[in-house]
Protein backbone atom coordinates (compact mmCIF):
# COMPACT_ATOMS: atom_id res chain seq x y z
CA UNK A 1 0.00 0.00 0.00
CA UNK A 2 1.59 3.30 -1.07
CA UNK A 3 2.13 5.87 1.66
CA UNK A 4 2.58 9.64 1.79
CA UNK A 5 2.76 11.94 4.78
CA UNK A 6 3.56 15.59 4.13
CA UNK A 7 6.95 16.41 5.73
CA UNK A 8 5.66 19.41 7.66
CA UNK A 9 8.25 19.07 10.42
CA UNK A 10 11.10 19.31 7.90
CA UNK A 11 9.44 22.20 6.10
CA UNK A 12 8.93 24.15 9.31
CA UNK A 13 12.57 23.59 10.25
CA UNK A 14 13.78 25.00 6.93
CA UNK A 15 11.31 27.87 6.98
CA UNK A 16 11.49 28.96 10.60
CA UNK A 17 14.86 27.85 11.91
CA UNK A 18 17.23 27.50 8.98
CA UNK A 19 15.63 30.54 7.37
CA UNK A 20 14.06 33.31 9.49
CA UNK A 21 10.45 33.26 8.30
CA UNK A 22 9.64 36.47 10.19
CA UNK A 23 11.58 38.30 7.48
CA UNK A 24 8.89 37.39 4.94
CA UNK A 25 6.29 39.58 6.63
CA UNK A 26 8.73 42.51 6.56
CA UNK A 27 8.85 42.50 2.76
CA UNK A 28 6.58 44.97 0.89
CA UNK A 29 3.04 43.62 0.56
CA UNK A 30 3.71 40.58 2.77
CA UNK A 31 2.64 41.95 6.16
CA UNK A 32 -0.12 39.35 6.51
CA UNK A 33 2.17 36.39 5.92
CA UNK A 34 3.28 35.74 9.46
CA UNK A 35 4.88 32.43 10.45
CA UNK A 36 1.56 31.39 12.01
CA UNK A 37 -0.39 32.06 8.82
CA UNK A 38 2.15 30.23 6.67
CA UNK A 39 2.01 27.24 9.02
CA UNK A 40 -1.78 27.10 8.71
CA UNK A 41 -1.54 27.18 4.91
CA UNK A 42 1.01 24.35 4.92
CA UNK A 43 -1.25 22.28 7.19
CA UNK A 44 -4.22 22.70 4.84
CA UNK A 45 -2.03 21.90 1.83
CA UNK A 46 -0.95 18.71 3.60
CA UNK A 47 -4.59 17.70 4.09
CA UNK A 48 -5.64 18.09 0.46
CA UNK A 49 -2.41 16.40 -0.67
CA UNK A 50 -2.82 13.37 1.59
CA UNK A 51 -6.61 13.02 1.50
CA UNK A 52 -7.62 14.15 -2.01
CA UNK A 53 -4.68 14.06 -4.43
CA UNK A 54 -2.61 11.11 -3.23
CA UNK A 55 -5.48 8.56 -3.37
CA UNK A 56 -5.91 9.46 -7.07
CA UNK A 57 -2.25 8.94 -7.98
CA UNK A 58 -2.49 5.23 -8.71
CA UNK A 59 -5.92 5.67 -10.29
CA UNK A 60 -4.54 8.23 -12.70
CA UNK A 61 -1.53 6.15 -13.68
CA UNK A 62 -3.59 2.98 -14.06
CA UNK A 63 -6.46 4.49 -16.09
CA UNK A 64 -4.62 7.29 -17.84
CA UNK A 65 -6.39 9.87 -19.97
CA UNK A 66 -8.65 8.70 -22.78
CA UNK A 67 -8.99 10.21 -26.25
CA UNK A 68 -11.92 9.89 -28.61
CA UNK A 69 -12.82 12.13 -31.56
CA UNK A 70 -10.82 15.06 -30.25
CA UNK A 71 -12.20 14.78 -26.72
CA UNK A 72 -9.83 14.04 -23.83
CA UNK A 73 -11.19 12.76 -20.53
CA UNK A 74 -9.13 12.70 -17.37
CA UNK A 75 -9.07 9.69 -14.99
CA UNK A 76 -11.79 8.90 -12.47
CA UNK A 77 -11.93 11.44 -9.67
CA UNK A 78 -9.80 14.10 -11.33
CA UNK A 79 -12.70 16.43 -12.15
CA UNK A 80 -14.04 16.34 -8.59
CA UNK A 81 -10.55 16.81 -7.17
CA UNK A 82 -9.91 19.77 -9.48
CA UNK A 83 -13.17 21.38 -8.35
CA UNK A 84 -12.12 20.95 -4.71
CA UNK A 85 -8.66 22.27 -5.57
CA UNK A 86 -10.07 25.45 -7.12
CA UNK A 87 -12.63 26.01 -4.38
CA UNK A 88 -9.81 25.87 -1.84
CA UNK A 89 -7.98 28.66 -3.65
CA UNK A 90 -4.91 26.56 -4.43
CA UNK A 91 -4.72 27.75 -8.05
CA UNK A 92 -4.35 31.35 -6.86
CA UNK A 93 -2.03 30.97 -3.91
CA UNK A 94 0.96 32.96 -5.24
CA UNK A 95 -0.81 35.04 -7.89
CA UNK A 96 -1.19 38.82 -7.75
CA UNK A 97 -4.21 39.97 -5.66
CA UNK A 98 -5.04 42.42 -8.46
CA UNK A 99 -6.20 39.40 -10.48
CA UNK A 100 -7.82 37.43 -7.66
CA UNK A 101 -4.68 35.83 -6.27
CA UNK A 102 -3.56 35.54 -2.67
CA UNK A 103 -0.08 36.96 -3.13
CA UNK A 104 1.72 34.35 -1.05
CA UNK A 105 5.52 34.63 -1.31
CA UNK A 106 7.19 31.95 -3.40
CA UNK A 107 9.31 30.81 -0.43
CA UNK A 108 6.22 29.25 1.12
CA UNK A 109 4.26 28.62 -2.09
CA UNK A 110 6.98 26.30 -3.37
CA UNK A 111 6.58 24.15 -0.25
CA UNK A 112 2.89 23.83 -1.06
CA UNK A 113 3.75 22.86 -4.64
CA UNK A 114 6.21 20.27 -3.36
CA UNK A 115 3.40 18.53 -1.46
CA UNK A 116 1.18 18.50 -4.53
CA UNK A 117 4.03 17.00 -6.58
CA UNK A 118 4.66 14.31 -3.98
CA UNK A 119 0.99 13.42 -3.76
CA UNK A 120 0.14 13.43 -7.47
CA UNK A 121 2.51 15.08 -9.91
CA UNK A 122 0.32 14.18 -12.92
CA UNK A 123 -2.61 16.09 -11.43
CA UNK A 124 -0.34 18.95 -10.42
CA UNK A 125 0.71 19.58 -14.02
CA UNK A 126 -2.71 21.01 -14.89
CA UNK A 127 -2.63 23.94 -12.42
CA UNK A 128 1.15 24.10 -12.82
CA UNK A 129 0.94 24.88 -16.55
CA UNK A 130 -1.80 27.41 -15.82
CA UNK A 131 0.43 29.24 -13.38
CA UNK A 132 3.18 29.42 -15.99
CA UNK A 133 0.74 30.90 -18.50
CA UNK A 134 -0.34 33.41 -15.85
CA UNK A 135 3.29 34.48 -15.33
CA UNK A 136 3.90 34.94 -19.07
CA UNK A 137 0.72 36.98 -19.58
CA UNK A 138 1.34 39.07 -16.48
CA UNK A 139 4.80 40.03 -17.69
CA UNK A 140 4.14 40.45 -21.43
CA UNK A 141 0.40 40.94 -21.93
CA UNK A 142 -1.28 44.30 -22.44
CA UNK A 143 -3.38 45.77 -19.62
CA UNK A 144 -6.49 44.84 -21.59
CA UNK A 145 -5.33 41.24 -22.00
CA UNK A 146 -4.41 40.90 -18.34
CA UNK A 147 -7.77 42.24 -17.22
CA UNK A 148 -9.68 39.98 -19.62
CA UNK A 149 -7.79 36.71 -19.18
CA UNK A 150 -5.89 36.54 -15.89
CA UNK A 151 -8.76 36.44 -13.34
CA UNK A 152 -10.21 33.26 -14.89
CA UNK A 153 -6.78 31.63 -15.13
CA UNK A 154 -5.94 32.54 -11.53
CA UNK A 155 -9.25 31.13 -10.26
CA UNK A 156 -8.75 27.88 -12.17
CA UNK A 157 -11.96 28.43 -14.14
CA UNK A 158 -9.73 28.46 -17.22
CA UNK A 159 -6.40 26.66 -17.59
CA UNK A 160 -3.31 27.48 -19.65
CA UNK A 161 -0.67 25.79 -21.78
CA UNK A 162 2.57 26.53 -23.62
CA UNK A 163 2.63 25.47 -27.29
CA UNK A 164 6.20 25.37 -28.59
CA UNK A 165 7.35 22.04 -30.01
CA UNK A 166 6.41 20.94 -33.53
CA UNK A 167 6.65 17.51 -35.21
CA UNK A 168 9.71 18.44 -37.30
CA UNK A 169 11.64 20.28 -34.57
CA UNK A 170 12.27 19.68 -30.91
CA UNK A 171 14.43 22.09 -28.96
CA UNK A 172 15.41 24.07 -32.09
CA UNK A 173 12.52 26.52 -32.04
CA UNK A 174 14.14 28.52 -34.83
CA UNK A 175 12.74 25.89 -37.20
CA UNK A 176 9.09 26.26 -36.21
CA UNK A 177 6.58 26.70 -39.06
CA UNK A 178 3.30 27.65 -37.38
CA UNK A 179 1.98 30.76 -39.13
CA UNK A 180 0.12 33.80 -37.87
CA UNK A 181 -1.73 35.84 -40.51
CA UNK A 182 -3.12 39.26 -39.49
CA UNK A 183 -6.90 39.78 -39.62
CA UNK A 184 -8.67 43.09 -40.23
CA UNK A 185 -9.95 43.26 -36.63
CA UNK A 186 -6.48 43.13 -35.06
CA UNK A 187 -6.55 39.40 -34.34
CA UNK A 188 -4.51 36.74 -36.13
CA UNK A 189 -5.29 33.43 -37.82
CA UNK A 190 -3.00 30.74 -36.40
CA UNK A 191 -2.24 27.63 -38.48
CA UNK A 192 0.18 24.83 -37.62
CA UNK A 193 0.79 21.72 -35.57
CA UNK A 194 2.22 21.34 -32.06
CA UNK A 195 3.20 18.20 -30.14
CA UNK A 196 3.98 17.30 -26.51
CA UNK A 197 1.51 19.91 -25.20
CA UNK A 198 0.89 19.21 -21.52
CA UNK A 199 -2.76 19.82 -20.56
CA UNK A 200 -3.50 20.71 -24.18
CA UNK A 201 -6.99 19.23 -23.97
CA UNK A 202 -8.96 17.93 -20.97
CA UNK A 203 -12.31 18.05 -19.19
CA UNK A 204 -11.29 19.83 -15.98
CA UNK A 205 -11.97 23.47 -16.89
CA UNK A 206 -14.46 25.21 -19.15
CA UNK A 207 -11.79 26.85 -21.31
CA UNK A 208 -8.08 26.39 -22.13
CA UNK A 209 -5.86 29.34 -22.98
CA UNK A 210 -2.99 28.32 -25.25
CA UNK A 211 0.13 30.46 -25.56
CA UNK A 212 1.34 29.63 -29.05
CA UNK A 213 4.63 30.48 -30.72
CA UNK A 214 4.18 31.32 -34.41
CA UNK A 215 5.63 33.38 -37.26
CA UNK A 216 4.23 36.53 -38.82
CA UNK A 217 4.35 36.73 -42.65
CA UNK A 218 7.28 39.16 -42.64
CA UNK A 219 9.15 37.54 -39.74
CA UNK A 220 12.92 37.11 -40.02
CA UNK A 221 14.32 33.59 -40.03
CA UNK A 222 15.32 31.72 -36.89
CA UNK A 223 14.48 32.54 -33.30
CA UNK A 224 14.44 36.28 -34.06
CA UNK A 225 11.22 35.82 -36.01
CA UNK A 226 9.05 34.18 -33.35
CA UNK A 227 5.98 35.85 -31.86
CA UNK A 228 3.68 34.69 -29.06
CA UNK A 229 -0.10 34.52 -29.39
CA UNK A 230 -2.96 33.92 -27.01
CA UNK A 231 -5.27 31.32 -28.58
CA UNK A 232 -8.26 30.10 -26.51
CA UNK A 233 -10.12 26.85 -26.98
CA UNK A 234 -13.41 28.76 -26.88
CA UNK A 235 -13.73 32.38 -27.96
CA UNK A 236 -15.15 34.57 -25.18
CA UNK A 237 -17.95 37.02 -25.92
CA UNK A 238 -17.85 40.64 -24.80
CA UNK A 239 -19.90 39.82 -21.70
CA UNK A 240 -17.34 37.18 -20.65
CA UNK A 241 -19.44 34.14 -21.54
CA UNK A 242 -17.98 31.51 -23.83
CA UNK A 243 -18.78 31.64 -27.51
CA UNK A 244 -17.93 29.28 -30.40
CA UNK A 245 -15.18 26.69 -30.46
CA UNK A 246 -11.96 28.07 -31.93
CA UNK A 247 -10.26 26.54 -34.99
CA UNK A 248 -8.16 23.95 -33.16
CA UNK A 249 -8.36 20.38 -32.00
CA UNK A 250 -6.42 17.73 -30.17
CA UNK A 251 -5.45 15.06 -32.69
CA UNK A 252 -3.93 12.53 -30.27
CA UNK A 253 -2.58 12.04 -26.78
CA UNK A 254 0.98 10.83 -26.36
CA UNK A 255 1.79 7.39 -24.93
CA UNK A 256 4.18 7.67 -21.98
CA UNK A 257 5.93 5.50 -19.41
CA UNK A 258 4.38 7.48 -16.55
CA UNK A 259 2.38 10.60 -15.75
CA UNK A 260 -0.56 8.91 -17.43
CA UNK A 261 -3.03 11.10 -15.57
CA UNK A 262 -1.60 14.14 -17.35
CA UNK A 263 -2.87 14.68 -20.89
CA UNK A 264 0.09 15.31 -23.21
CA UNK A 265 -1.45 16.26 -26.53
CA UNK A 266 -0.77 16.77 -30.21
CA UNK A 267 -2.60 19.94 -31.24
CA UNK A 268 -3.67 21.16 -34.68
CA UNK A 269 -4.46 24.85 -35.27
CA UNK A 270 -6.41 25.53 -38.46
CA UNK A 271 -6.99 29.25 -38.81
CA UNK A 272 -7.60 29.59 -35.08
CA UNK A 273 -8.21 33.10 -33.82
CA UNK A 274 -5.44 34.45 -31.62
CA UNK A 275 -4.06 37.72 -30.30
CA UNK A 276 -0.47 38.89 -30.22
CA UNK A 277 1.09 38.98 -26.76
CA UNK A 278 3.91 41.48 -26.39
CA UNK A 279 5.90 42.78 -29.33
CA UNK A 280 6.12 41.14 -32.78
CA UNK A 281 9.11 38.82 -33.17
CA UNK A 282 9.80 38.96 -29.42
CA UNK A 283 7.76 35.88 -28.57
CA UNK A 284 10.61 33.67 -27.43
CA UNK A 285 11.65 36.18 -24.76
CA UNK A 286 8.03 36.44 -23.61
CA UNK A 287 7.64 32.66 -23.51
CA UNK A 288 10.81 32.33 -21.47
CA UNK A 289 8.93 33.92 -18.57
CA UNK A 290 6.76 30.82 -18.55
CA UNK A 291 9.60 28.43 -19.37
CA UNK A 292 11.72 29.68 -16.47
CA UNK A 293 8.75 29.33 -14.13
CA UNK A 294 8.25 25.76 -15.29
CA UNK A 295 11.96 25.01 -14.82
CA UNK A 296 11.64 25.91 -11.17
CA UNK A 297 8.54 23.74 -10.96
CA UNK A 298 10.39 20.80 -12.53
CA UNK A 299 12.98 21.11 -9.77
CA UNK A 300 10.18 21.09 -7.19
CA UNK A 301 8.69 18.05 -8.91
CA UNK A 302 11.99 16.22 -8.49
CA UNK A 303 12.08 17.12 -4.80
CA UNK A 304 8.48 16.03 -4.32
CA UNK A 305 8.97 12.70 -6.09
CA UNK A 306 12.17 12.06 -4.13
CA UNK A 307 10.30 12.62 -0.87
CA UNK A 308 7.44 10.23 -1.63
CA UNK A 309 9.86 7.66 -3.10
CA UNK A 310 11.94 7.78 0.10
CA UNK A 311 8.85 7.35 2.27
CA UNK A 312 7.69 4.31 0.30
CA UNK A 313 11.19 2.78 0.23
CA UNK A 314 11.35 3.04 4.02
CA UNK A 315 7.87 1.54 4.40
CA UNK A 316 8.74 -1.35 2.09
CA UNK A 317 12.05 -2.01 3.86
CA UNK A 318 10.31 -2.13 7.22
CA UNK A 319 7.65 -4.47 5.90
CA UNK A 320 10.28 -6.82 4.45
pLDDT for residue 27 is more than 90: no
Give the model confidence (pLDDT) of 135-158 as tens digits.
999 999 999 999 999 999 999 999
Number of domains in the chain: 2
| 28 pLDDT higher than 90 | no
Distance CA 129, CA 122 (A): 11
* Per-residue pLDDT tens over the stretch 46-77: 999 999 999 999 999 999 999 998 899 999 99
Rounded Cα gap, residues 128 and 300, in angstroms: 11
> Considering the domain boundaries, does residue 163 fall inside one?
yes
- Structural domain harbouring 261: 158-282
* Residues 99, 31 share a domain: yes
Evaluate if pTM is beyond 0.75. yes
Are 297 and 177 within one domain? no
What is the C-alpha to C-alpha distance for residues 263 and 266, in angstroms, rounded to an integer?
10
Mean pLDDT of 203-218: 97
Same domain? 168 vs 98: no
CATH code of the domain in which 68 resides = 1.10.540.10
Distance (Å) of CA 221 to CA 87, 165, 230: 45, 17, 22
Whole-number Å distance between alpha carbons of 194 and 30: 40
| Under 8 Å between Cβ of 94 and 41 | no
Residue 70 placed within a domain = yes
In a domain, 63, yes or no: yes
- Cβ atoms within 10 Å of 50's Cβ, excluding its own: 17
d(CA 107, CA 15): 8
Q: Verify that 41 and 63 share a domain, yes or no.
A: yes
Task: Spell out the SS3 assignment of 84-125.
Answer: HHHHCCHHHCCCCHHHCCCCCCHHHHHHHHHHHHHHHHHHHH
Domain check: are 89 and 109 in the same one?
yes
Same domain, yes or no: 183 and 249: yes
**309-318, pLDDT tens digit by residue?**
999 999 999 9
Amino acid sequence: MPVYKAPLKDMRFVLHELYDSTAIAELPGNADFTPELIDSVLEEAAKISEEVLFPLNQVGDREGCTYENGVVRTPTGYREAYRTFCEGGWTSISADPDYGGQGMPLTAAMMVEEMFCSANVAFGLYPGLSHGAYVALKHSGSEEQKKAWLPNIVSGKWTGTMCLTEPHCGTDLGMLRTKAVPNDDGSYSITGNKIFISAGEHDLAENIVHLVLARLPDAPAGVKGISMFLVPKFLPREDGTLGPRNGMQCTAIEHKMGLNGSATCAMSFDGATGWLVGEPNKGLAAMFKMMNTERLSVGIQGLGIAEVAYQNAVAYARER
